Chain A
Amino acid sequence: MTTLSLSHFLLTSAIIFVIGLIGFVTRRNMIVMFLCTELMFQAAAIAMIAFGHYHGDVSGQVFVIFILTVAAAEAALALGLVVLLFRRRATLSAEAWSELGEA
């Protein structure tokens, strides 16, 4: 364990991604679910930077910058949506929004 190799970074990325995934699937609170999606985003960003560094290519970092901007904009939108949804049902549980199902 002297140097950090690519696989360390990828493993970290995978762990963070899976944590986000499990959080998204198991939690009902919409804000927490949203945070979990952000977590998965950042896991992907870590993988991008790791690959970029490994190949000596900056496009990975450029990508991440883009991801962060888009994520910021999207966070504003998503939180706005969550506020709207909360106003309608007075709850943050995702289970309150299941009319699409037939049953």
Chain B
Amino acid sequence: MIDGAGFPVAVEASGPSWAALILWLPAISTVLCGLCAAFKVRNKLAAWITVALLGGSFVLTASLFAGYEQPVTIHVLDWIGITWGDTSFVANFAFYIDSLTLLWMLFVTGLGTLIALYASEYMEQDVGGGYSRFFAGISIFLFAMTALVMGDNLLMLYLGWEGVGFASYWLIGYYYKKPSAVAAAKKAFIVNRIGDLGLALGIYLIWQTFGTVQYAELFTELQAGSYTEIAGGWTVQAIPFLLMLAAFGKSAQLPLYVWLPDAMEGPTPVSALIHAATMVTAGVYLLCRMFPLMALNELALPVVAWVGGLTALLAATIAMAQYDIKRIFAYSTISQLGYMFLGVGLLTTSGAAYHVFTHAFFKAVLFLTAGVVMHGMAGQLDLRKVSGLRKLPGWRITSYTMLYACMCLAGVPIVTNGFWSKDAIMAEAFAAHGPGFGALAIIALITALLTAYYTFRVWFRVCAGPVHYEPGDELHGESTGRFQPHAPRLIINAVLVAITVGAVVSIFCADWVLGMVGDSTAAGGIPGEHHVAEGASVWSDPHAWMPWVASVIGLVGIAIAWYFHLANRKAADKFKQVLQGNVLTAWLPKALENKWYVDELYHATIRAPLWLLGRILNLFDRYVLDMVFVDGIARLPRMLGRGFQPLANGVLQSYAVSMIGGVALVAVLVFVMPELMAMLSGLMGGGR
């Protein structure tokens, strides 16, 4: 089990005062872009504001990193501080700066800036329309992510957590006139709420157990080892699982992954932002940050590993049979996130973090190039309808950056960052000991094969082969016959090259990331403790033979893709027909294309019953509460009035008769009733 001790905890520091700007610059950018939108600015001002301020945020992060010596907390301003009796609840706007924070912030702000730059050109047909609104959304997204990563307490993390959920809703629903985009935005928000519930309960239980939500105090307490004594009650045992639920929601893991593929409805830079730098990495960050707490229940990490492994496999199988390029990349994101959680579950948080880091680069390139294709082909994303892009003039940079990113995702040996990061996790799967980890390792290997196949299926179809294209349905006043693809211009190409260079550089960052993670709260299990003794054969050390196996698997996957999708494209259809012809496998292609019917399953088991319950409650409300109680009580005086109304007929004599009748009634009550009662009691007494 993990040691409570073994990682440095931040000390209070006055810190560089400009550090707060890392958080405030995106916030200022949001406000300025909002003003641009309010004043209907008809140029790209909002984009340049966003790029400049996010870039400033990145530069400040980099200089904070350059001056980093030891973990510190930097106080910005007081937020919440309540004390009653012995208990207190303190959550300030303060930063917890350790190497994990810096690692995350570097790629969040760096890639965020580059993606904003890309979007400045990508979104240009919306200038004067939603352009400023879009960049306000990007800025608030980055603000929320910054708060999430840099906050020194769980409440600030929660603020950022909800913030990215809100920003994703904003941006996925950017084309708010499109019903599918609105539905996707709602789906993303609602599915995320399930995870958020876990986080909220988890934070409460942490506060109840440890009496603080501030990282520094929390980790000090953990290091003191007091939690081993606490680890008894179920409320404490539940903490890792609640945090896990939160992470699975935000990072799109089983069973809450369904929102991510639909998030493709947003503009492509948003997909790149969600999938690469922000949002989905938040779940991994949460588990890395709270890694010491995962030891509160010894089942927690194996569950994380299994969920990650199964998600990776499931998403990869779905990705094989999709035709929409962005959708394939979306499922690949889910699959790769599965690897990251597998890594966390196997105690190799450094491997997971390294995979987050490399994945951020190559997935950004993949989405941005998919966006270029979509943009240039008037919304065409079907990989069967676009072919041979690399031979078109002006598309070379797109095609080859995409090729490199595909190589990274597929894990082409040595020259790609994805190879090394995935390798670290898969080797650990073989080396680690835990419930069913052997099967999990096999799953990871199969997933790697599938990944290589579906990735290159896209590239061989879209970029290689004979030149052929059909435009999509978003033609801007051109007829289909005269359609010319718009090649990307300078800014987009520059961004693609820059991120690709970053991906190449990240190959050499393995040791750096390992060191960064090792110095942080995520220092749970640095690979190495599982290593076998010197002198054992190569086969007994997975870290030694994994590069070879992974290379072979990756190359085999690419070769299969090459055969079916470049060398002999008809064979793919034939293979599908063979599958459909066989009784045993006839269901398979359809099930894969329909994403294993998971959405339909959720619809039948969760949405439909909830809808039914909602209908019943609606009817109850309408007919029982409203009609009987609210309207009924309102109707009572009116009905009484109706009953007495004939008396008030305006005829003076009838009023007189009523008065006389009233007096007579009173007289009867006063004079006759006592005698009647006496008579009755006399009768009763006689009976007795």
Interface size for chain A: under 10, 10 to 19, 20 to 34, or 35 or more residues?
Answer: 10 to 19
> A57–B657 Cα gap in the complex (Å)?
34
> A64–B26 Cα gap in the complex (Å)?
95
| Partner among B648, B649, B652, B656 whose Cβ is within 8 Å of the Cβ of A97 | B652
Would you call A25 and B657 a contact (CB within 8 A)?
A: yes
> A99–B651 Cα gap in the complex (Å)?
9
Min CB gap A66→B, angstroms: 22
A88-103 CB contact bits vs B (8 Å, 1 = yes)?
0000001101111111
Would you call A24 and B653 a contact (CB within 8 A)?
A: yes
Question: Which residues in B have their C-beta under 8 angstroms from that of A103?
Answer: 649-650
Say if the beta carbon of B14 comes within 8 Å of chain A.
no
Query: Nearest CB to that of B649 among chain A residues?
Result: A101
Which of B637-688 touch A at CB < 8 Å? Answer: 645, 648-653, 656-657, 660
Say if the beta carbon of A33 comes within 8 Å of chain B.
yes
Question: Which residues in B have their C-beta under 8 angstroms from that of A25?
Answer: 653, 656-657, 660
Would you call B656 and A100 a contact (CB within 8 A)?
A: no
Query: Nearest CB to that of B646 among chain A residues?
Result: A103
Question: Which residues in A have their C-beta under 8 angstroms from that of B657?
Answer: 25
A22-41 CB contact bits vs B (8 Å, 1 = yes)?
00111010000100000000
Would you call A24 and B650 a contact (CB within 8 A)?
A: no
Say if the beta carbon of A83 comes within 8 Å of chain B.
no
Question: Which residues in A have their C-beta under 8 angstroms from that of B656?
Answer: 24-25
Question: Which residues in B have their C-beta under 8 angstroms from that of A101?
Answer: 648-651
Query: Nearest CB to that of B645 among chain A residues?
Result: A102
Query: Nearest CB to that of B660 among chain A residues?
Result: A21
Question: Which residues in B have their C-beta under 8 angstroms from that of A21?
Answer: 660
Question: Which residues in B have their C-beta under 8 angstroms from that of A95?
Answer: 651
> A25–B648 Cα gap in the complex (Å)?
16
Which of A1-55 touch B at CB < 8 Å? Answer: 21, 24-26, 28, 33
Most buried by B among A28, A99, A101: A101
Question: Which residues in A have their C-beta under 8 angstroms from that of B650?
Answer: 97-101, 103
Would you call B649 and A26 a contact (CB within 8 A)?
A: no
Min CB gap B662→A, angstroms: 14
Would you call B645 and A33 a contact (CB within 8 A)?
A: no
Min CB gap B19→A, angstroms: 78
Q: Is the interface of B mostly helix, strand, loop or mixed?
A: helix
Would you call A33 and B660 a contact (CB within 8 A)?
A: no
> A98–B649 Cα gap in the complex (Å)?
7
| Partner among B645, B648, B649, B652 whose Cβ is within 8 Å of the Cβ of A94 | B652
Which of B188-221 touch A at CB < 8 Å? Answer: none
> A98–B660 Cα gap in the complex (Å)?
20
Question: Which residues in B have their C-beta under 8 angstroms from that of A97?
Answer: 650, 652
Min CB gap B645→A, angstroms: 6
Most buried by B among A26, A28, A102: A102
Min CB gap A29→B, angstroms: 11
Min CB gap A47→B, angstroms: 15
> A102–B650 Cα gap in the complex (Å)?
8
Min CB gap A93→B, angstroms: 10
> A40–B477 Cα gap in the complex (Å)?
99
Min CB gap A95→B, angstroms: 7
| Partner among A24, A26, A28, A102 whose Cβ is within 8 Å of the Cβ of B648 | A102
> A100–B649 Cα gap in the complex (Å)?
7
> A61–B162 Cα gap in the complex (Å)?
90
Would you call B648 and A100 a contact (CB within 8 A)?
A: yes
B253-264 CB contact bits vs A (8 Å, 1 = yes)?
000000000000
| Partner among B648, B649, B652 whose Cβ is within 8 Å of the Cβ of A33 | B652
Query: Nearest CB to that of B647 among chain A residues?
Result: A101
Min CB gap A101→B, angstroms: 3
Query: Nearest CB to that of A98 among chain B residues?
Result: B650
> A33–B645 Cα gap in the complex (Å)?
25
Query: Nearest CB to that of B648 among chain A residues?
Result: A101
Question: Which residues in B have their C-beta under 8 angstroms from that of A102?
Answer: 645, 648
Which of A57-103 touch B at CB < 8 Å? Answer: 94-95, 97-103
> A21–B663 Cα gap in the complex (Å)?
13
> A95–B653 Cα gap in the complex (Å)?
9
Min CB gap B653→A, angstroms: 5
Query: Nearest CB to that of A37 among chain B residues?
Result: B656
> A94–B656 Cα gap in the complex (Å)?
12
Min CB gap A64→B, angstroms: 22
Would you call A26 and B653 a contact (CB within 8 A)?
A: yes
Query: Nearest CB to that of B641 among chain A residues?
Result: A102
> A10–B648 Cα gap in the complex (Å)?
34
Question: Which residues in B have their C-beta under 8 angstroms from that of A28?
Answer: 653
Q: List 19 A-B contacts (CB under 8 A).
A: A25-B653, A25-B656, A25-B660, A28-B653, A33-B652, A94-B653, A97-B650, A97-B652, A98-B650, A98-B651, A98-B652, A99-B650, A100-B648, A100-B650, A101-B648, A101-B649, A101-B651, A102-B645, A103-B650
Besides the contacts A25-B660, A33-B652, what 10 more A-B pairs have beta carbons closer than 8 Å? A24-B656, A25-B656, A26-B653, A28-B653, A94-B651, A94-B652, A100-B648, A100-B650, A102-B645, A103-B650
| Nearest 6 CB-CB pairings of A with B | A101-B650, A98-B650, A101-B649, A94-B652, A100-B650, A25-B653
B residues whose Cβ falls under 8 Å from a Cβ of A? 645, 648-653, 656-657, 660
